[in-house]
Amino acid sequence: MKFLPLIWAGIWRKPGRAVLTLLSVVNAFLLFGVLQGFASGLNHAVAETHADVLLTLSRISTEPLPVGQLDQIKRVQGVRATMPMVPVISTYRTPTQIVPAEAIDPAQVLAVDPGLTIPQAMIHALQRDRTGAIVSRVLANRFGWKVGDRVPLRALNVANRDGSPTWPVDIVGVFSSSGGTLFKNAMLINFDYVDQGRTTNGGTAPVFVVRIDDPHQAGPIAASIDKLFANSANETKTATVRQIAQNNLKQIGDIGLVINAIVAAVFFALLFLVGALMMQSVRERTPELAVLKTLGFTDGGLMGLILAESLTFCLVSAAIGLGLAAMLFPVARRLIGFNIQAGPLMLTGFALAIGLALISGLPPAIRAMRLQVVDALAGR
């Protein structure tokens, strides 16, 4: 665009001020990118969950279920595979380093979780070694584990027979799983190891994983399973993994709403910032803008010029802010296993930038448009 040098010169008229405003806008878009990325990551995680995997829990969510129930569940029509699962939430070395370990049955784990990709050899290794563990690559990266390492897990909810909460395990494999699996960021250990070693709740598991043939039958099958144990001492509650993930999110509260409110507040303040400074810039440039009119720039032309400055400025700042946020996404994926869709986020971001530019740029642009050449040149 041939007017670009003029537009650029207008923006950088006072470099210090331009830089500061740029930083504020970059800051705002960075925050936007991070918050929205987080929200989108959460939604994506829910969307990735499988519809043909059900979880059966006790109706009283704190009580475990006897593993004897698994046989009955297996016989329900439409059920393909079942597996007990004991979450052994542990810490490693310091109380803030959490390791989500799950005690499972290696023989069944691939059958119940269609999204899980673990080589058979690794499964066999886990079966052969009672104290074995296979970890996801994300966890291995985070703690620097490799095959052969002995990891002392300090369980928060399961006590070992020897009275301590420590469960030592040996890493026998590291797996990578993209897509929806229950064990994306987890460590898999043997159910038998935990069940035989623990002091309370032997022979039970808080969760059963149930794989069904047809995801469309999830509702009726879940109802059938729960009917099996209705009015017994151990009533169950079965739902698809996706349903549960969504409920969990809902429990925390309306995160989307909170994020949108924060972003709205930030951009409101930003409107003021950019608007006030553009207005000031136009006021300072009254003589120069008047000269442009003498040269033949029309009123509309000057309005367009100011809007173009606003747009250029906001788009460039947004690009920087969003770019910085986007740089964090791969880090999030590596360290937390969080998948964030950058595309839609960028689009929303740029739409916001345009909105910001137009709204904050309009009053100054109108002022420039209305500028009376003769008065301005005379210094009035």
Partner 1 sequence: MEALVGLKHVVKRYRRGRQVLEVLHNLDLEVAAGEFLALMGPSGSGKTTLLNLIGGLDRPTEGEVDVAGERIDQLSSGRLAAWRARHVGFVFQFYNLMPTLSAERNVELPLLLTSLSAAQRKQNVEAALALVGLTDWRKHKPNELSGGQQQRVAIARAIVADPTLLVCDEPTGDLDRETAEEVLGLLQQLNRGHGKTVIMVTHDPKAASFASRIVNLDKGALVPAPAMASI
Partner 2 sequence: MNLIKQIWAVTAMNVRALPQRAGTSLVTVIGVATVIAVMVSLLAIGQGLLLSVGRNVRADDAVVLSSGTAASYMGSISRTAAAIIGDAPGVATDSAGRPMVSPEALVIVEVTKLNGDSANIGFAGVTPEGRVMNPSLHLIAGRRFRPAVRELIAGRSASGQYRNLKLGDHVTLRGTDWTVVGIFEDNGGQSENALIGDAETVMSAFGRGNFQMVNVRLQSPAAFTRFKDALTSNPQLSVEVRRTAEYTKEQLKPLTSIINFVGYFIGIVMAVGAAFGAVNTMYSAVDARVREIATLRAIGFGGTAVVVSVMVESLLLAIPGALLGVAIAWILFNGRAVSSLGLTFPLAVTPGLFELAIVWALAIGLIGGLAPSIRAANLPVATALRAT
Q: Which residues bind partner 1 (CB under 8 A)?
A: 2-3, 5-6, 9-10, 12-13, 287-288, 290-301, 373-374, 377-378
Q: Which does 292 bind (CB under 5 to 8 A by kind): partner 1, partner 2, none?
A: partner 1
**Stretch touching partner 2 by CB under 8 A, among 13-21, 76-84, 107-115, 178-186:** 13-21
Output the smallest distance, CB 235 to partner 2, in A: 7
Contacts with partner 2: how many residues (CB under 8 A)?
Answer: 40
Closest to partner 1 by CB, 1 or 233: 1
Place of tokens 């620097």: 144
Please enumerate, as own/partner, the contacts of 218-222 that have beta carbons within 8 Å and a separation of 24 or more.
Answer: 218/51, 218/52, 218/54, 220/78, 221/54, 221/76, 221/77, 221/78, 221/79, 222/54
Q: Which does 227 bind (CB under 5 to 8 A by kind): partner 1, partner 2, none?
A: none
368, 306 contact by CB (below 8 A):
yes
347 binds partner 2 (CB under 8 A): no
The tokens describing 259, both together, are 């994020």
**Stretch touching partner 2 by CB under 8 A, among 15-23, 47-55, 120-128, 172-180:** 15-23
Q: Which does 265 bind (CB under 5 to 8 A by kind): partner 1, partner 2, none?
A: partner 2
273 binds partner 2 (CB under 8 A): yes
CA distance 232 to 234: 5
Q: What angle do CA 206, 106, 191 make, to 5 degrees?
A: 40
Neighbours of 19 (CB within 10 A): 11
How far, in whole angstroms, is CA 117 from its chain's centroid?
A: 22
CA distance 140 to 151: 11
Closest to partner 1 by CB, 19 or 347: 19
Output the smallest distance, CB 42 to partner 2, in A: 13
Closest to partner 1 by CB, 259 or 368: 368
60 binds partner 2 (CB under 8 A): yes
User: Following DSSP, what letter does each residue of 85-112 receive, concatenated?
Assistant: EEEEEEEESEEEEEEEEEEE-HHHHHHH
Contact residues: partner 2, CB under 8 A: 16-17, 20-21, 23-24, 27-28, 30-31, 35, 59-62, 156-157, 159, 231, 233, 235, 237, 247, 250-253, 258, 262, 265-266, 268-270, 272-273, 276-277, 279-280
